[in-house]
Structure 1
Amino acid sequence: MPPQVGTYSFFAPHHGRPGRSDETYREQSQAKALCPSLHFEACPPLLLNPQQLPTPSVLSLFECSISATGFTNRFFPTVLMPKKLSKNPQGGSTTNLGTPSTSTTNSTPLSLPRILIDELPLPKLIVFDLDYTLWPFWVDTHVSGPLKANGTHSAVTDRHGESFAFYQDVPRILYTLPLAGIKIAVASRTSAPDLARDMLKLLHVPPPSAEEGGSGKKEKTKRALEYFDAPLEIYPSSKIKHFETIFKKTGIPFTDMLFFDDESRNRETESLGVTMQLVRDGVTWNEIEKGVAEWRKRRGHSG
């Protein structure tokens, strides 16, 4: 029987993604999103298998409203993402690499963020990076084709049986932005463009349920790829070239573009007039709001 709600002791592993000094911040943010009452203490730099956690009472203490099993299943697959996990003897995965992280906000199409409906200007085009922006993995490093979708197309598995999915808020964001009249594009320098496109084809975006603010009418799920009504620039190159190509294909001025990316070096795109929002834990509604607010600020609009 799984542990009941109460106080548990867990490791929040500390390890660095190559070249990313803020990885600890990412991991702690992901944990806090799951359990707001979580408080971190010093943790040794160990990488633990969720199925081999030490016994309670010797590690950081926190209280949360989910069971220990639930926490392990939802949090550890995410923070272990940067390192390719070992396979079991049968070739299957020991965890789900692509388990989405939990966002800090919950918005739905009928309860849109205020910033999308306050009658102030919006960017005409939002451009997303892919890796660690729309999904929590490097598609050219962590994923091995061919891919196969699960029954609901909410996740896909690769040849090793590892599971991959979007960050939690991403499907609803992709569904909602077109409703606000915003076009969506991709700028990714991944060296596995075909695999990335396959991922966007196999991962579907479900319509919101009545409980989530939907109309309640029957609506089919659509491939995530179908929500990108602007260019998909997915190939090894500089983001400058990606955006120059997007401009040539759409005619949308750079100043009307908002870009979400997890790497600060890609702020070079701002030399073109693009506004970039740096994301630390994938795209969430909170990041969308901050990005739009910054885009407006640079154009002299308040709100």
Structure 2
Amino acid sequence: MSFIKQIKLLIRNVKFIVYFLFLIGNVTCSCKTSVYIQPTVSTEKPKPRIPGELYPRMIIMYMDRTIWPFWFELDVTRPIKNKNGIVLDDGFQPLKPFQQIPGLLDSLHKQGYKLAFINQSPDNASMENLLEWFNFNKYLTHKMTMSAPKKELVRIISQKYKIDFGDMLYLDSEYDEIPDIAELNVVCIQTGDKGVMMEDVQKGLHIFSTAAPDYG
């Protein structure tokens, strides 16, 4: 057996041992730091809607590094699987959303906001599985994964639901394509490295009802 194959076999055995310890002892693995970020949970809830104020007709969130702490195409080894409620990739890495996301989505959904998730991964089946296993589908009006600029994904949502760009709020941890989306007259908020927080949503709602943000 070649030296490289021996190293690969050793790494796979180590991953299996870590996975086994995770199951029996609830050990938090740190093999991929980005997968295990545990942000502070925000207990703040969205303020009740006030009659006469402006609100977005659709809140769009990018999935990678905004809903969950990993880049799906770069960090996740496929196929992914669900083992008794624990979502794993093929390298036995547990996959989880940011800790605050379920509560945040539930709060926004109860307030009557329409929510959409987008991603640029071409692996629609795996992304659908993640959303199902994380129990997020019940909150979503729309979900879309496609190898296209984020601006085009937002444009598709606008056309499908007949929602003006000015009636949308977009949240993403990455700045690179935010100016392109802002050119459509969409209110955009860049989130921090702990994913979208309720504070980010509140900031977006405030900007939405007052003035356009400065992206200069």
TM-score > 0.5, shorter chain as reference? yes
User: What do the CA deviations read for 1:65-107 (whole angstroms, capped 9, x no partner)?
Assistant: xxxxxxxxxxxxxxxxxxxxx9452543752543343236223
Tell me whether 1:202 sits opposite 2:133 in the alignment: yes
Confirm or deny: 8 A CA contact 1:100 1:166 kept in the other structure: no
Report the counterpart of residue 113 of structure 2 in structure 1.
Answer: 182
Indicate conservation of the 8 Å contact 1:277/1:287, yes or no.
yes
1:103-142 aligned within 5 A: 103=40, 105-107=42-44, 112-114=45-47, 116-119=48-51, 120-142=53-75
Distance of aligned partners of 1:239 and 1:168 in 2 relative to their CA distance in 1, 3 Å threshold: same
Tell me, which stretches of 5 or more residues in structure 2 are unaligned?
1-9, 19-28
Q: Do the aligned partners of residues 242 and 171 (structure 1) sit closer, same or farther apart at CA in structure 2, a change above 3 Å counting?
A: same
In structure 2, C-alpha distance between the alignment counterparts of 1:249 and 1:255, rounded to whole Å: 15
1:275 equivalenced with 2:187 (yes/no)? yes
Write the distance in 1 (CA, Å) between the matches of 2:151 and 2:171: 14
Partner of residue 92 from structure 2, selected from 142, 161, 164:
161
CA distance in 2, matches of 1:288, 1:273: 17
Percent identity (aligned): 21
Q: TM-score, normalised by structure 1?
A: 0.56
Q: Secondary structure at the match of 2:13?
A: coil
After superposition, the CA RMSD in angstroms is 2.2
Distance 1:237 1:169 in 2: 28
Residues in 2 aligned to 1:130 and 1:171: alpha-carbon distance in whole angstroms: 13
Aligned to 2:80: 147
Is the helix fraction higher in 1 or 2? 2
Deviations 1:240-267 (A, max 9, x none): 2111110111011111110011121222
Q: Is the 8 A contact 1:104 1:286 kept in 2?
A: no
Structure 1 unaligned runs (5+)? 1-85, 204-222
Letter of the aligned partner of 1:245 in structure 2?
A: I
Measured in 1, the distance between the counterparts of 2:190 and 2:157 equals 20
- Matched with 2:138 is 226
Quick one: distance in 2 between partners of 1:118 and 1:284? 21
**1:146 Cα offset (Å):** 2.7
SS in 1 for 2:92: coil
Q: Which amino acid aligns with 1:199?
A: L
Cα deviation digits, residues 106-135 of structure 1 (max 9, x gap): 23xxxx333x44553321110010100000
Q: 2:203 aligns with which of 283, 287, 290?
A: 290
Secondary structure of the corresponding residue to residue 199 of structure 2: helix
> What is the rounded CA distance, in whole Å, between the counterparts of 2:208 and 2:16 in structure 1?
44
Partner residue, 1:242: 153
TM-score by length of 2: 0.77
Q: Does 1:89 align with 2:13?
A: yes
